[in-house]
Amino acid sequence: MLDDATRARLRAKLEEEKARIEADLSKIAERKDSGDFEAKFPEDIGDRMDENATEVEEFTDTLAVEKTLESQLKDINDALAKMDAGTYGICEKTGREIPLARLEAYPAARTVVDVDAQ
């Protein structure tokens, strides 16, 4: 089990990363009432076909980034909820403790690294 100081340090890392991701998301997406984000369509670049294609390409790129950041944010929120529930650091697949080195590297880890090797 993690001691209180380690848990507090990992919580601080999670909260710092959460703030960074939310700031990044706010630049490319709007938060909806549901709490989810929706990527913003780029400002009107122009009326020509090539300019419209650029808008669509930018939106596609933004959409992919938004989905990735939103997934990371979900993992962080889940990890924080697990801390509150007292189940943080337990592998979702095996029920084993996730090694501290893994949690230090990725505090939102859900599983032990070798879960598929078993």
Tens of pLDDT, residue by residue over 47-92, are 665 565 666 667 676 778 888 999 999 999 999 999 999 999 999 9
| More confident of the two residues 42 and 104 | 104
Angle at the Cα of 64 from the Cα atoms of 63 and 66, rounded to 5 degrees = 65
Alpha-carbon gap, residue 3 to 57, rounded angstroms:
48
pLDDT of residue 48: 60
- Residue 18 pLDDT > 60: yes
Q: How does DSSP assign 48-67, residue by residue?
A: SHHHHHHHHHHHHHHHHHHH
Three-class secondary structure of residue 117 per DSSP: helix
Between 43 and 83, residue with greater pLDDT? 83
State the pLDDT at residue 97: 95
Asked if residues 42 and 58 have their Cβ atoms less than 8 Å apart, the reply is yes
Structure tokens at 57: 């390409």
Average pLDDT over the chain reads 84
- Mean pLDDT confidence for 35-58: 63
* Cβ atoms 11, 83 nearer than 8 A: yes
Residue 118: pLDDT above 50? no
Tell me the fold of 4-117: Four Helix Bundle (Hemerythrin (Met), subunit A) (1.20.120)
Q: At what angle do helices 49-85 and 4-28 cross, to 10 degrees?
A: 160
